[in-house]
């Protein structure tokens, strides 16, 4: 009987949430609108050049006002005979800080997807989200498979597609992230040659409205 009551409560809660969703504006957070932002100084580019590699990267603005993440990827190893892998280029959003120099984080619990408008070259890129914490090697990462060609595309990545990694290694434990410090885009597909990714905007969006009661009590009601 308790199980039946729990199922009925969930059913009517879902009905109410669907009805309420029709009258609710889904939220979104603009991470960066590259065409409207006057400066690209809030982003920092790095490559394996810092460790002796030969990859090159730069972030510039196109004549139409979009950001252009372009360069040349090289997997040639540096002459130190210690490095075993090379070939990466990254653009990273500089973390926000308060007046005392403390790094601030952004709450993302109201959103469930990342959306980017971009024009790629057919190569595979990676978007990385760094959560708060002392271990800077912790990242949530997902791939971006660009089509190439002259047309722009809108890429939507659900948060559930981001995998938790440490120093690039996939972890058995996959916690849900609720806040981020920085966001970055990188290329490391081990293909030597030029690359170019144009970006219009990056934002976080809410795609499914869930009333607070439904979220908090759904699991409890099913726990029979």
How high is the pLDDT of residue 169?
93
Nearest to 56 by CA among 186, 190, 194: 194
- Percentage of residues in the chain having pLDDT higher than 90: 65
How high is the pLDDT of residue 222?
32
Per-residue pLDDT tens for 161-191?
999 999 989 999 999 889 999 999 999 999 9
Low-confidence ranges of the chain (pLDDT < 70): 1-24, 38, 209-224
Phi and psi at 166, nearest 5°, equal -130, 120
CA–centroid distance for 159 within its chain = 8
Q: Which tokens hold the place of 224?
A: 């029979």
The single-letter DSSP state of residue 151 is -
Q: What is the pTM of this model?
A: 0.80
CB 164 within 8 A of CB 171: yes
CB 107 within 8 A of CB 96: no
C-alpha radius of gyration, the chain, whole number: 21
CA 213/CA 215 separation, integer angstroms: 6
Per-residue pLDDT tens for 94-113?
999 988 988 999 999 999 99
How high is the pLDDT of residue 2?
61
How high is the pLDDT of residue 220?
32
Domain locations in the chain as residue ranges:
28-78+85-205
User: Among the CATH numbers 3.40.640.10, 1.20.120.1810, 2.60.120.260, 2.60.40.10, which is that of 28-78+85-205?
Assistant: 2.60.120.260
Average pLDDT, the chain: 85
CA 79/CA 202 separation, integer angstroms: 38
């Amino acid at each position: 009987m308790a199980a039946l009551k729990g199922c009925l409560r969930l059913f009517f809660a879902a009905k109410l949430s669907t009805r309420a969703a029709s009258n609710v504006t889904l939220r979104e957070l603009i991470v960066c609108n590259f065409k409207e932002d006057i400066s690209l100084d809030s982003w920092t580019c790095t490559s394996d050049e810092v460790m002796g590699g030969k990859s090159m990267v730069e972030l510039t603005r196109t004549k139409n006002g979009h950001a252009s993440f372009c360069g040349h990827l090289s997997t040639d190893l540096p002459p130190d005979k210690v490095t075993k892998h090379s070939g990466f280029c990254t653009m990273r959003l500089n973390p926000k800080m308060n007046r005392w120099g403390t790094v601030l984080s952004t709450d993302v619990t109201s959103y469930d997807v990342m959306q980017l408008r971009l024009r790629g070259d057919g190569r595979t890129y990676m978007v990385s989200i760094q959560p708060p914490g002392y271990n800077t090697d912790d990242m949530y990462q997902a791939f971006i498979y660009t089509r190439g060609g002259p047309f722009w595309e809108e890429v939507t990545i659900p948060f559930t597609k981001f995998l938790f990694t440490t120093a690039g290694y996939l972890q058995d434990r996959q916690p849900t992230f609720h806040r981020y410090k920085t966001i970055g885009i990188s290329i490391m597909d081990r293909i030597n040659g030029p690359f170019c990714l144009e970006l219009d905007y990056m934002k976080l969006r809410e795609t499914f409205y869930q009333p607070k009661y439904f979220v908090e009590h759904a699991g409890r009601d099913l726990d029979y």
